[in-house]
Amino acid sequence: MSDDALDVLRKFDAVLFGAVGDPGEFPSLCKWFLRLTVIDVPDHVSLWGLLLKIRSPLQLYANVRPVRTFPGTKTPLNTAKNGIDWVLVRENSEGEYCGQGGRSHIGQPWEAATELAMFTRVGIERIMRFAFETARSRPRKKLTVVTKSNAMRHGMVLWDEVAEEVSKDFPDVDWDKMLVDAITIRMVAQPDSLDTIVGTNLHMDILSDLAAGLAGSIGVAPSSNLDPTRKNPSLFEPVHGSAFDITGKGVANPVATFWSAAEMLTWIGEKDAADKLMGCVERVCEAGILTADLGGKAKTQDVVNAVCGEIDRL
């Protein structure tokens, strides 16, 4: 990012972010023809050098990842007859991705590396309050707190304690607590028992991908990186990565980007526009205009054209 990137972003109400990455896997003929010097940029470099450089300074501490089964599509689970409709809330500013740790004795047989997870009371409390408020706003008013306090006896114990404290301010929310390994089974075997789920940075990074797959495809999954105080612009992006292995094939699913745009519209007070956009997307899916990840034969542009056609007819 340029030195003034954050100053530029702060001038806006919201940011719509595309998938990024550069694995340097262009076909060799293209490299020769375009005379390209292709550099392999490791994922951790593009993450820490771009996305986390936006999330951290702007305090986008609430990462919201809704997942649901769209009309005309189906979940691979035979345990979810009515499809899936969950909201996953991820702590987005600390925990396992706090950036603390280091390496020593590099190149030696005794080389060592440490990766620290940091949990603060203020960080836990604000994400718990956000999660309980999110659960309260949904019809079922149900929240599951994901933990690993049986093995992580410091940070995760504090996580559990703060969850218990915050829950007292939300007596109308039915909540429970579950170990991160156990909830993977529950997501598959008892999907109807879940509604809103909150967890740490790492736990929800993993579980949200599982959830998207169970709902139908990661190609439809949106993501909101929110500053609930609204002091800074929030960032909206599809959950999926840049997927260079399918570049140019026309098979990428654009629904996640449409849904991310709808989440952005809702955040900036344009809920009517967001609902109309999602209605257009749902009608296209219900009509069977689906990319291969959802079992269809449509190309990316086919879906985009169909959604745009629905918008034009509004």
Partners of 198 in the β-ladder = 89, 145
Mean pLDDT of the chain: 89
Domain regions of the chain by residue span = 5-312
Q: For the ranges 1-5, 138-142, 275-279, which has the lowest average pLDDT?
A: 1-5
Geometric angle at alpha carbon 233, from 231 and 236, rounded to 5°: 140
Query: Looking at the predicted structure, is the pLDDT value of residue 150 above 50?
Result: yes
pLDDT of residue 2: 73
| Average pLDDT value for residue range 6-35 | 65
Q: How much is the average pLDDT of 71-84? A: 88
In three-state secondary structure terms, 41 is strand
Least confident of 50-54, 74-78, 151-155, 204-208: 50-54
Q: Are strands 14-16 and 234-238 parallel, antiparallel or unpaired?
A: parallel
Residues 248 and 91: their CA atoms lie apart, in Å, by 34
3-state DSSP call for residue 1?
A: coil
CA distance 189 to 96: 28
Class of domain 5-312: alpha beta
Q: Tell whether the model's pLDDT for residue 277 goes beyond 60.
A: yes
Q: 202-258, pLDDT tens digit by residue?
A: 999 999 999 999 999 989 999 999 999 999 999 999 988 776 777 778 888 999 999
Per-residue confidence band for 299, with pLDDT thresholds at 50, 70 and 90 = very high
Single out the residue of 213, 220, 156 nearest to residue 184, CA to CA. Answer: 213
Tell me: pLDDT of 89 over 80: yes
Helix (H, G, I), strand (E, B) or coil at 305: helix
Does 307 score more than 60 pLDDT?
yes
Mean pLDDT across 164-191: 98
Cβ proximity of 303 and 254 under 8 Å:
yes
Q: Does the structure show a pLDDT above 70 at 159?
A: yes
- pLDDT band of 34, cuts 50, 70, 90: very low
269: left (phi over 0), alpha (psi -120 to 50) or beta: left
Percent of the chain with pLDDT over 70: 89
Residue 128 contacts residue 146 (beta carbons within 8 Å)? no
Is 119:147 a contact under the CB 8 Å cutoff? no
Q: Compute the average pLDDT of residues 179-192.
A: 97
Sequence-ordered list of residues with C-beta below 8 angstroms from that of 1, at least 6 positions apart, any chain: 49, 50, 53, 54
In SS3 terms, 232-283 reads as: CCEEEEECCCCCHHHCCCCCCCCHHHHHHHHHHHHHCCCHHHHHHHHHHHHH
pLDDT score of 133: 99
Q: Which tens digit of pLDDT belongs to each residue from 95-104? A: 998 889 999 9
pLDDT value of residue 36: 39
| pLDDT greater at residue 294 or residue 51 | 294
| Residue 65: strand, helix, or coil | strand
With both helix axes pointing from N to C terminus, report the angle between 271-286 and 300-312 in degrees, rounded to the nearest 10: 130
| Crossing angle for the helix pair 271-286 and 255-267, to the nearest 10 degrees | 160
Of 255 and 44, more confident: 255
Average pLDDT over residues 44-60: 70
pLDDT of 232: 93
Residue for token digits 């689906």?
290
Q: What per-residue confidence (pLDDT) applies to 99?
A: 86
